[in-house]
Amino acid sequence: MTLDIADLAQLDRAHIIHPYLPGSATERVVMISGSGCRLTDSQGRGYLDATGGLWLAQVGHGRTELADVAHAQMAKLEYFTSFWEFSNERAIELATRLASLAPAPLSHVYFTSGGSEGNEAAIKMARYYHHRRGESSRTWILARSKAYHGIGYGGGSATGFPLYHEGFAPMMPHVSHLTPPWPYRTELYGDQPLSPEQVTDFLIRELEERIAEIGPGNIAAMIGEPIMGVGGMLVPPADYWPRVREVLDRHGILLIFDEVVTAYGRVGEWFAAQYFGVTPDIIVTAKGITSGYVPLGALLVGDHVAEVLLRDHGFPMGYTYNGHPVATAVATANLDLIEREGLLARATGLGAFLHAELEAQLGELPVVGEIRSVGMMLAVELVRDRATRAPLPLHPERMPHDVIRRETGVIVRDSAHSLVLSPPLIMTEAEAREVATALRGVLERTEPTGEIRAA
Ligand code: PMP
């Protein structure tokens, strides 16, 4: 059956509920194939992928080596459960590999099918850990405004955007949101501009006060993305995580890093925990673990936590697809590619190149307030006024990222008032320059009112 584009769009509208797309929207981009950073849609139109799909295509599109691994594993053993005493060689191989890459003492692995499941598991693990140790009162989860932790009721409640809660109430109780670390937005911390260290002082004071309010004996864990992705690639001051860790340790509160975006090379290390020099008790990962070739997530769990979870009857929660042989086989092959092609170092070098290119091409534009990045996570903050840092007004029917895609084929994403980029780590410098040029072409026609003049 071959369908032409008009049919595809119509059938899509008739049958598929897309996240975040109103039923009234008629436009569809139906992707057909991909290679490296390039994609082609059903009309034969080409795209340059500067978001890595949804922040995950570390090794790029169209890697037939990964298809071969999936094929071979599916032919040998497509699936069996990992419940009880059952296991499979591919899951064991990947868990052993992850334990060797993760900071000590995180040598235990719990598999999921994605990031949302991972955060549900992490939150439940934290509560269960305290319960098993006789501290059942430790139920509260500390999170931050602007955090994104997926769509479950646990992670979704920890998510710090009212939009994701509206209409879904009641959310999970016993979640408390703190102020996010974002020195550029000085209004978050009062009237006075603060240095990064003073921002950390403010946030640590708030954390201590919140712990005192709730009672340390009632708090299970704090969950946080080391660099907040959906919130707009918010990079905390260097001393933020070490100081948070110190406070939590003093109160027996676990630290969960949601590294669904930041792990597997995106920030130039296997894990952002290593970038910040902080070891959490649990690291939640997904996305880049397979570069998106098949769905998979993995929690890296500290030995001190695992030891408690494994007592008595063990950890009473499992997914049908825990340790799926095909997904874990593809993940190992994907990690091999990341290693063989030196993509950690490449993320650092190419990220610096792309940052410099954005700075050179966009840095002086009146609507560009800040360009920030760590490795291959980058953001361009859009403002109405560079002096006041007032956010650029947005017009949903003509957003900069949509105009950039329609005019140039370069795919970037919006996040609040910023454009966020997380390209495949294999992007070339010529492609990186093409991304910056595409952004410039639209942002230099963007007025402080948010209107975009015709080309
Ligand atoms: N945590 C973070 C930090 C994320 O960015 C995402 C997805 N963008 C998730 C969790 C949820 O992962 P998934 O969509 O695989 O469920």
Low-confidence residues in the chain, pLDDT < 50: none
Residue with CA nearest ligand 1 atom 7: 150
Of 20, 113, 233, 260, the residue with max ligand 1 atoms within 8 A of its CB, to mutate for a pocket test, comes to 260
Of 56, 117, 261, 283, the residue with max ligand 1 atoms within 8 A of its CB, to mutate for a pocket test, comes to 261
Strands 377-385, 390-391: parallel, antiparallel or unpaired by DSSP? antiparallel
Tokens at residue 128, please? 């269960």
Give the Cβ contact number of residue 1 at 10 Å: 3
Residue 327 exposed, middle or buried by CB count within 10 Å (0-12, 13-18, 19+): buried
Each residue of 74-104: pLDDT tens digit? 999 999 999 999 999 999 999 999 999 999 9
Number of H helices, E strands in the chain: 14, 16
Rounded CA separation 283/89 (Å): 23
ipTM exceeding cut-off 0.90 for this assembly = yes
- Ligand 1 centroid to 151 CA: how many Å? 8
In angstroms, what CA-CA distances link 75 with 65, 78, 79, 322, 326?
A: 16, 7, 10, 19, 10
Q: Quote the pLDDT of residue 54.
A: 96
Q: Quote the pLDDT of residue 396.
A: 87
Pinpoint the residues of the chain covered by CATH 3.90.1150.10.
Answer: 27-59+342-443
Q: CB–CB of 412/439 below 8 Å?
A: yes
Q: CB–CB of 183/237 below 8 Å?
A: yes
- Ligand 1 centroid to 402 CA: how many Å? 22
Pinpoint the residues of the chain covered by CATH 3.40.640.10.
Answer: 66-340
Q: Which helix (H) or strand (E) holds 124?
A: helix 115-132
- Ligand 1 centroid to 4 CA: how many Å? 33
0.95 exceeded by pTM? yes
Rounded CA separation 353/371 (Å): 13
Return the CATH number of the domain spanning residue range 66-340.
Answer: 3.40.640.10
> Within 6 Å (CB) of ligand 1, which residues are found?
54, 114-116, 119, 148-150, 225, 229-230, 258, 260-261, 286
Q: Which CATH architecture has domain 27-59+342-443?
A: Alpha-Beta Complex (3.90)
- Ligand 1 centroid to 266 CA: how many Å? 14
Q: How many alpha carbons fall within 13 Å on the CB side of residue 404?
A: 27
Each residue of 321-369: pLDDT tens digit? 999 999 999 999 999 999 999 999 999 999 999 999 999 999 999 999 9
Each residue of 185-238: pLDDT tens digit? 989 998 788 999 999 999 999 999 999 999 999 999 999 999 999 999 999 999
